[in-house]
Copies of this chain bind each other. A is one copy, B any other.
């Protein structure tokens, strides 16, 4: 049975994740400060580090929630999608675009989190991404029955990265002049040509 200390600790953990998510949503990851979170949660600064190893661990917990929401949004888009495999890819990509636009700062935090260069992501993170990739793999196996599972896995990640790149540069209009208004058309152009 969990003691009072454990229960209080779990409650503080949840509260800190919620506050961090609210602050990242409002001000972006780079403006997240531990002292603000301590104030939000009404705890001492040091108490945060009793629950999370460092601020990055807390951000990872927020990112886990974001990935789950992203997965749900993509699954939801598939529920209403046509049977055509190419159309399914396009529908999922548009769902990815909408999720990124509506959750801009938490979505950016997925990719902007600090990590020593070359260090691999956590297992649970790759597991969540793997579920997202599985949604892409299914229509690809219809469009490209000639490919081995290995090649298809590469193509899945390449396609995800491609759509990510279009959404990223499209939502950041200043960077390369990619027109945000034509973003879904650009995605459809790439995916449509790919499947012919």
Contact = CB atoms under 8 A, between A and B. Distances in A.
Contact of A161 (B155, B165, B174): B165
Given A157-B178, A160-B169, A165-B165, 7 more contacts: A111-B169, A120-B177, A154-B182, A154-B185, A158-B189, A165-B166, A190-B190
A118 to B, nearest CB: 6
**Copy count, this protein chain:** 2
A174 B129 contact: no
B173 A186 contact: no
Most buried by B among A115, A161, A187: A161
Nearest to A171: B117
Contact of A179 (B157, B162, B163): B157
A120 B159 CA distance: 27
